[in-house]
A and B are shown apart, each in its own frame.
Chain A
Amino acid sequence: MAAGLALALAACATPPPASDPDALAAYKATNDPLEPMNRKLYAINDTIDTYAVKPVAKGYAAVVPSTVRTHIGNVLSNLNLPVVFLNDILEAKSRRAGDSLVRFVLNSTIGLGGIFDPAGSLGYKPHEADFGITFAIWGIGEGPYLYLPVLGPSGPRDAAGFGVGVISDPFFWVGQGAIVTALGWTRYSVNLLNTRASLLKPIDEVKRMALDPYATFRSLYRQHRESVIQDARDDHRATVPDWFTQPPDAQQQ
């Protein structure tokens, strides 16, 4: 315990002195007090990615055609829709919840278990929703930056959101036994592989262009999260059908 505490303290970045207000403001804006430890974890993850995950993802992308990978991505997104729907409700975004419900029903049936996306063609477009976003809508701040083993860029809010997301997934509770456990791990592994394969070029490009990839990924992660949270906040679509007299505030949207 004492050794762990000492390690965490040793891993803390030293804040600039108050005599340098610009540097202090930049330190606070970066909000990465555990930067030395985070950078070490990033280096470990990056090594694992370079020598294990990326080569496997490259092999997978070479063997599985891109159209099939898109369909696999569709199936995995469809499996995640119950959690997205739950978060839409918790965010009090009824039109988003409606989109998620229609997407799940149509894509699971006509879309053959989510392989195809007929709901998207009908105008029910996908959106991001998870517990990290929900907590942000509820007013919880992102907290200091954390680089987690395997999971990568995060923070206390998003990491807690990830945990709640796992246990709130109905598939986490359905059935038991070796087959169900194996299916769960298969889903997780295929998701990781399919996502990594889709990011082969973008990640290579970031690493090629960035002079400090750690700081670049931190910035991209934070901006992306802020952007999806803002999208959720800005979604004020009315729940009243088009043919009904619209309330005044909805007409202004």
Chain B
Amino acid sequence: MNVQAKPWFGGVRFNVVFGIAVVGFMFAVALVGPWFAPADPLAINIRARLATPGGDYLLGADEFGRDVLSRLIAGARTSVVIALVTVAIAVALGTIFGVLAGYRRGWTDRCLMIVNDSMLAFPGLLLALGIMAVFGASRDGIIIALGLAYAPVVVRVVRGTVLSLREQEFIEASRVIGNPEWLTMLRHVLPNCLAPLLVVATMMFGWVILSESALSFLGLGVPPPAPSWGNMLSTARPYINQAPQLIVFPGLCISITLLGVNMLGDAIRDWLDPKMERAA
């Protein structure tokens, strides 16, 4: 007998509402924001250098007198585009190799997993840093670097799911009714991988935004003058005493976005499968 009281108060529902609202707003800003931006994010105006918020510059201006609000909006687009493409690459690569490893097992699995584990042996940003060192700082470089760095995580999740699915009798049942292996995979294995994939993709969206801004902060991400939240923080660092607002706003943008993505990720996980709590 399994009687589980669902928590009804605040927490859960706030999660969902806040997560959807933040992520939705972020996408909307990325999509149409630049049309509504008050100024050109690259337009320099030396007279407005380090202007305080208010007046013509709603959130102030940076060290070249560029409008901070417009740059934040442009940065949102940069972050969303990079995160979406990166997650797509990681998920595509990870699914292909994860299904292959989990389904074929034997030597295919062993070799793939040794390579995969070795890639995972580059912790955190290290692999991305190495790749950026080779390619130099550029937007496409980040996408390739982070895509490659995060694909092994997807491989692990997908392989784990496929391995546990293989133990399920409905996969054997598909074989018994005469379905060839590829059809079993297409009809029964892949659809059941979608839930964990969706969860990991949502989480990863947050990780990529964080990593991209960290790389940009280190000067190895989106190269100036193109604005990204990370490189805005980096260029504001020397002016921390004169214009602290330059540090506050980009950081707030990153934090609120990550909070929204994390809450949405938790909500999706709880909604799709309570068992995921164990795997995550």
State whether these chains interact: no
